[in-house]
C-alpha cells in the first residue's frame, strides 16, 4: 500500500497542475472578453473596435478553447518549443476568439486560425524528440562569431549615437507616454534601421547572456548599458522591455522549469491589475499601453487583412525582400499596411502592420499560412536542440524578442530584420569549451 501512495501522489499533483492551467486560461479569456466589451470599444472605438455580440460564436469559441487547452496541458516544462507555443496561443489565438464572438467576425478566418494552431500544437507538443533542456551547461561557452558581433556592435553604437545625440531627451524617455515624440525624430541612415533592430533584439541579449554565464562582468555590464543607451536614443519600449525580461530570466534562472506557469499566471495577474485600475480610476494605464497593443490590435488587424485580401487578391510576397529582388509588379502604390490603414482607419499614414496570421494570409492565403506554420515548427524544434546543448538561459534570452516579431510583423520580415534567422545563426555557432563554467 505504501508503494501505491508514492506512485499516486505525483499523478495527483500533475492533475491539479493541469486543472489550474485550464482554469487560469479560461479566466484570462473571460477577462479579455470583459475588457474588450466594457473598455476597449468605449475608449478605443475610433480604432475600428466595435461590439456586435454573437452568442453562438462566443459559445463556439469557448468550446474550441477548452479543447485546445486540453491539448496544451500535455506540454513539457523542459521544452522551450512548448513554452513558445503557449505564448503564441495566448497572444494570438485567444484574442482572435474574443473578437470573433464580440465583433461577430468571419467564421472562415476563425476556422483557418484553428487549423493552423491545431497543426502547431500537435507537431510541437505531441511529436517530440529527446532534446530536454538543461538550465545551463557545466562548461564555458564560446562563440565563433564573437569578433564579428563586437564589430557590428561598435558600428551600431557609432551610427546611432552620431545621428541621434543632438535630439537626446532624457525626460521624455523616463515617461513611457511621451516616447513617441522621440521616435518621430530618430534617424536610421547608414543601414541603422537594420543594425539597430538586430542589435537590440538579438546581438545585445545574446552577448549579455553569454558574458553573464561565463562570468565576464565587465562585458556583461557594457552590453547592458549599450541596450539601455539605445532605448534612451530611440524611445523604443521593446528595447527597454527586452532588458527587463533578461534581468528577470537571470534572476529566476533556476526556476525556468516553471516558465509556462509563470507566463500564464503573469498574464492573469496583469488582466486583474487592469481591472482594478478601471474600478478606481475608470481608465487603465496597463490596458492602454500594453494589453491593447499586445492582444487586441494584432487580432483586429488579422481580421482586417483577411477581409481585404480575400476580396482583393493574394500578394504572393511581392512586397517582401524577395519580391523586390525579383522585381515583382505590385498591386498597390503603397505598402499593404498603409492600404489597410486607409481602408479601415481612414488614414494612409497608419502603418497597420500585423503578425503572421494576417500577413501570410495576405501573401498566400491558407496555403501561405500552412507553409509558415511548417517553418515555425522546424525553428521551434531547432531551439529545443540549442536549449539541450547550450542551456535554456542563453537560448531563451537570444530568441525571446525575435519571438515577439512573429505576431507583430510579416513572417519573412520576422525571419530577417526581426532577428529569427540571426538568433538561429549565433546559437548555431556557439559551443561548449573544456573550461568549467563559473555560473555567476
Does the pLDDT value for residue 7 go beyond 50? no
Q: What is the DSSP string of 71-109?
A: HHTT--TT-HHHHHHHHHIIIIIHHHHHHHHHTT--HHH
CA pair distance 105, 48, nearest whole angstrom:
13
Length of the chain equals 440
Is the pLDDT score of 6 beyond 60?
no
Percent of the chain at pLDDT > 70 equals: 92
- The predicted model gives 222-241 an average pLDDT of 89
Is there a contact between 55 and 233 (Cβ–Cβ < 8 Å)? no
* Chain segment 292-310, per-residue pLDDT in tens: 999 999 999 999 999 999 9
pLDDT digits (tens, 9 = 90+) for 400-421: 999 888 878 888 888 988 899 9
What is the distance, to the nearest Å, from the Cα of residue 148 to the centroid of all Cα atoms in its chain? 27
**Vertex 392: Cα angle to 389 and 398 (nearest 5):** 100
Report field, pTM of the whole predicted structure over 0.85: yes
Nearest Cα to Cα of residue 305 among 329, 328, 339: 339
Phi-psi region of 32 (alpha: psi -120 to 50; beta: other; left: phi over 0): alpha
pLDDT score at 59? 97
Amino acid at each position: 500500500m505504501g508503494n501505491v501512495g508514492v506512485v499516486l501522489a505525483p499523478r495527483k499533483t500533475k492533475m491539479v497542475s493541469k486543472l489550474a492551467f485550464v482554469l487560469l486560461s479560461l479566466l484570462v479569456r473571460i477577462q479579455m472578453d470583459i475588457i474588450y466589451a466594457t473598455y476597449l470599444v468605449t475608449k478605443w472605438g475610433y480604432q475600428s473596435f466595435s461590439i456586435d455580440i454573437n452568442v453562438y460564436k462566443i459559445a463556439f469559441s469557448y468550446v474550441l478553447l477548452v479543447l485546445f487547452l486540453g491539448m496544451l496541458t500535455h506540454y513539457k516544462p523542459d521544452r522551450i518549443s512548448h513554452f513558445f507555443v503557449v505564448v503564441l496561443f495566448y497572444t494570438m489565438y485567444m484574442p482572435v476568439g474574443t473578437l470573433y464572438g464580440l465583433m461577430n467576425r468571419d467564421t472562415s478566418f476563425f476556422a483557418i486560425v484553428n487549423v493552423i494552431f491545431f497543426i502547431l500544437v500537435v507537431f510541437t507538443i505531441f511529436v517530440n524528440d529527446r532534446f530536454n533542456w538543461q538550465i545551463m551547461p557545466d562548461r564555458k561557452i564560446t562563440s565563433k562569431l564573437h569578433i564579428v558581433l563586437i564589430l557590428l556592435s561598435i558600428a551600431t553604437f557609432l551610427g546611432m549615437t552620431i545621428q541621434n545625440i543632438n535630439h537626446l531627451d532624457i525626460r521624455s524617455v523616463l515617461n513611457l507616454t511621451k516616447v513617441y515624440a522621440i521616435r518621430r525624430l530618430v534617424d536610421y541612415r547608414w543601414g541603422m534601421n537594420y543594425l539597430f533592430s538586430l542589435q537590440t533584439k538579438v546581438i545585445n541579449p545574446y552577448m549579455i547572456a553569454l558574458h553573464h554565464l561565463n562570468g565576464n562582468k565587465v562585458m556583461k555590464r557594457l552590453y547592458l548599458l549599450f541596450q539601455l543607451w539605445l532605448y534612451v536614443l530611440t524611445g523604443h519600449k521593446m528595447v527597454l522591455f527586452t532588458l527587463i525580461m533578461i534581468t528577470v530570466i537571470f534572476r529566476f534562472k533556476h526556476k525556468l522549469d516553471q516558465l509556462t506557469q509563470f507566463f500564464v499566471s503573469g498574464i492573469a495577474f496583469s488582466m486583474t491589475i487592469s481591472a482594478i485600475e478601471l474600478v478606481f480610476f475608470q481608465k487603465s494605464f496597463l490596458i492602454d499601453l500594453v494589453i491593447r497593443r499586445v492582444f487586441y490590435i494584432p487580432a483586429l488587424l488579422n481580421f482586417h487583412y483577411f477581409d481585404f485580401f480575400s476580396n482583393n487578391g493574394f500578394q504572393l510576397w511581392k512586397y517582401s525582400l524577395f519580391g523586390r529582388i525579383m522585381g515583382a509588379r505590385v498591386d498597390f502604390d503603397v505598402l499593404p499596411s498603409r492600404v489597410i490603414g486607409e481602408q479601415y482607419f481612414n488614414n494612409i499614414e497608419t502603418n497597420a502592420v500585423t503578425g503572421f496570421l494576417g500577413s501570410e494570409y495576405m501573401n498566400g492565403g491558407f496555403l501561405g499560412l500552412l507553409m509558415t506554420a511548417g517553418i515555425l515548427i522546424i525553428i521551434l524544434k531547432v531551439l529545443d536542440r540549442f536549449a539541450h546543448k547550450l542551456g535554456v538561459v542563453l537560448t531563451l534570452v537570444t530568441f525571446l524578442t525575435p519571438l515577439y516579431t512573429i505576431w507583430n510583423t510579416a513572417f519573412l520580415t520576422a525571419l530577417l530584420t526581426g532577428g529569427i534567422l540571426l538568433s538561429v545563426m549565433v546559437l548555431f555557432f556557439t559551443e561548449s569549451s573544456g573550461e568549467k563554467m563559473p555560473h555567476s
